[in-house]
Structure 1
Amino acid sequence: MATTNGSNDLSSEMEVDAFRRLFPLRFHERHLLESIRPDGRPLGRARDTTISLGAVASANGSALAKIGCTTMLAAVKLEVMTPKAESPDEGCIAIDFHMPPICSPLVRPGRPAEAAPVITKQLTDTILSSGMIDLKELSLVSGKAAWMAYLDIYCLDADGALFDAALLSAVAAFSHLQIPVVSLNDDGRIVLISEENSGAMWEKEPVNKEKRKLKLESVPFSLTCLLHKNYILADPSDEEESIMETFLTVVLDSSFQLVSLNKPGGPGLAHTSAIQDCVGINKTESERTSEDIG
């Protein structure tokens, strides 16, 4: 009898899997009628989030961030540059988002992923417009030297909501950033002071005498939602994104003020009530994520 039941269960599982593959939208809509998703989440619930700081030893700041299976590795590297004439007391930030073939079977070797430059621009716009980083914090000597912060983010597993996970990893990497100790030599050039020679005398004048954290303000939180008929699905998986077309990404700062609203795909315009609902879900999930991380 047990063998018969086992065979029936296996047959049933195969039928469900076949239905899911042949009619993915109908499969998901059956779950939506019950206000639940195939992975067991309520419609407005994001996946579990984890962050590991210091994932890249050679970087000045780094983090590994996961939202569900979507995984991002972010690393910040600092280099000394000559500041721009129009902003002599400010450093700069350069952001690059990478999607190597390992992250998804849809990314082919030798062919850059179409989403990569789009997410790169979206990250740059969000981080700069949010006011998270005061570029004056990256200044060393007015008009002569400042820090250029190169942020590289690598997608290791693309399982939906890529921008949300990329932004989370970027914020975490900058929060982990340690600005090195530097001095000016007799030629007026910036010299990095390593731990080995930290006890040596300053050659000319100190610029900063100890490592310091980068002060972050108005930290942005992002949440992407799928809009399908009258349903709103928070933090979509890759499977959900592939069968439902209308996306809405809401970015709030740490005071829950709206930073940006982006609708990258799907027909029509999102109505006001849907936007308000997405903002409300973002607030709830941001608080839950902050508690989980803290």
Structure 2
Amino acid sequence: MVSANVSGDLSSEMEVDAFRRLFPLRYHERFLLDSIRPDARPLGRARDTSLALGAVASADGSALAKIGCTTMLAAVKMEVMTPPKESPDEGSIAIEFYMPPICSPLVRPGRPAEEAPVVSKQLSDTILRHVNVVTSLSHGTITNADFTKAVVPYWASVLKAIWDDLMVPNDSGFCCPIISLRLFSGMINLKELSLVSGKAAWMAYLDIYCLDADGSLFDAALLAAVAAFSHSHTQMIYNETVNLPLRPGSIVRIPVVSLNEEGRVVVVSEENEEGKSEKEPVNKGKRKLTLSSLPFSLTCILHKNYILADPTAEEESIMETLVTVVLDSSGQLVSLYKPGGPVLAYASAVQDCIALTRQRVKELKSILNEAISDMEVD
């Protein structure tokens, strides 16, 4: 009798697995009827999220972020560079996103993953100061007054509903089939990375590696990037002449700098090879860099009348309409990204996605603050 029950259970499991593989959309839709998902999550709940700072000892800032099984490792390396003549008072940030074959069976050795450049571009647009969006309808700025005239009627009806409540009259754009609105001045003001005008500035290399790709790649990558910069600290630079003003209220730390007798910015450690201080540094206390705003994101799937927050890779592969909302830590809209797919079924869908993102931002802020507190205790 026992063996018969075991055989029956195994047979049932095999039938369910076969049905899931042969008819994945129908399989998921059966769960949606009960407002639940195969992993037992409610439709609007994100997966368990964890964050660990200082994952790479050799980096100036690093973080390991996990959202469900999706895992991202971000590392920041700071170097002194000579700024270009076009922007002598600005530093620079170089962002690279990697998807090695270890992250997914869909990524083959020797062949770059299709999603990698897309996520990399989204990260650059969010972290850096990209406020003007290229638009196929207008090369100028779209203001609140002419917003409805600049976009096609359908998108006007969808987006005008959230325009007055969620957007400040500023730069915005429309590009078919991708809609992208950006109202953000960037997480880091590049001018604060300047050391000596025209002579030296910080170059921050942000490398993000996807260790496991199980959906919501941009959300996990952005969380890892924000956490890595929150953990960042820069090397000591000192000299006798120039003293940059202290900017309070931030986490990323940069030094006070000046020129040496040879006109160079010198990067040194507090101790030389003999273990003695080479000279008394001006910046014994590391000064801080202002993070103007911390962006957090949530990707949602829109399927019929359902909205699924934080989709897995399987859900993303069978449901076409994705919407990624990025908000800053105060809940203000940073960007809205919809990469093609069918049109939205109802005008309130965007508002519902933004409402879910606001809840998610509170969770992510708490997770980040807890990770920073743990680092301070250690």
Tell me the TM-score normalized by structure 1.
Answer: 0.94
CA–CA distance in structure 2, aligned partners of residues 192 and 5 of structure 1: 71
Q: What is the identity, as a one-letter code, of the residue corresponding to 1:140?
A: L
Query: What runs of 5+ residues in structure 2 fail to find an aligned partner?
Result: 130-183, 239-258, 371-378
Map 1:38-53 onto structure 2 (within 5 A): 38-53=38-53
User: Which amino acid is the alignment partner of residue 158 of structure 1?
Assistant: A
The correspondence of residues 1-294 of structure 1 with structure 2, limited to 5 A, is 1-129=1-129, 130=184, 131-183=186-238, 184-197=259-272, 199-201=277-279, 206=282, 208-269=283-344, 271-293=346-368, 294=370
- Separation in structure 1 between the aligned mates of residue 99 and residue 364 of structure 2, nearest angstrom: 25
* Cα displacement string for residues 228-277 of structure 1 (whole angstroms, at most 9, x for unaligned residues): 00000000000000100110000000111110000013122464300000
Amino acid corresponding to residue 199 of structure 1 in structure 2: S
d(CA) in 1 for partners of 2:340, 2:214? 17
C-alpha distance in 1, partners of 2:39/2:287? 42
* CA positional deviation for 1:213: 4.6
Structure 1 residues 158-211: Cα deviation after superposition (integer angstroms, max 9, x where no partner): 000001101000000000000111124332222222132373215xx84x4443
Pair 133,267 (structure 1): closer, same or farther in 2 beyond 3 Å: same
Q: Is the 8 A contact 2:298 2:326 kept in 1?
A: yes
> Given the superposition, is the C-alpha separation of residues 137 and 238 from structure 1 closer, same or farther in structure 2, using an over 3 Å criterion?
same
Is the Cα–Cα contact under 8 Å of residues 174 and 214 in structure 1 kept in the other structure? no
Checking the alignment, whether the CA contact within 8 Å between 2:236 and 2:270 is kept in structure 1 is no
Aligned mates of 2:192, 2:53 — CA distance in 1:
21
1:80 and 1:147 in contact (8 A); partners too: yes
Q: Which amino acid aligns with 1:279?
A: I
Give the % identical residues.
73
Q: Which 5+ residue runs of structure 1 have no aligned equivalent?
A: none
CA shift for structure 1 position 38: 0.2
Superposition deviation, residue 212 in structure 1: 4.3
Matched AA of 1:200: E
How far did residue 290 of structure 1 move?
2.6
Query: Per the alignment, in what secondary structure is the counterpart of residue 272 of structure 1?
Result: coil
Letter of the 2:204 counterpart:
A
Instruction: Find the residue that maps to 1:182 and give its secondary structure.
Output: coil
Residue 103 of structure 2 contacts residue 211 of structure 2 at CA under 8 Å; is this kept in 1?
yes
RMSD: 1.6
Greater strand proportion:
1
With over 3 angstroms needed to count, the CA separation of the structure-2 counterparts of 1:187 and 1:259, relative to structure 1, is same
Distance 2:27 2:261 in 1: 71
Q: Is the 8 A contact 2:126 2:187 kept in 1?
A: no
- 1:176–1:213 Cα contact (<8 Å) kept: no
Number of residues of Structure 1 aligned to a counterpart in Structure 2:
291
| Contact 1:250–1:261 (8 Å) recurs in 2 | yes
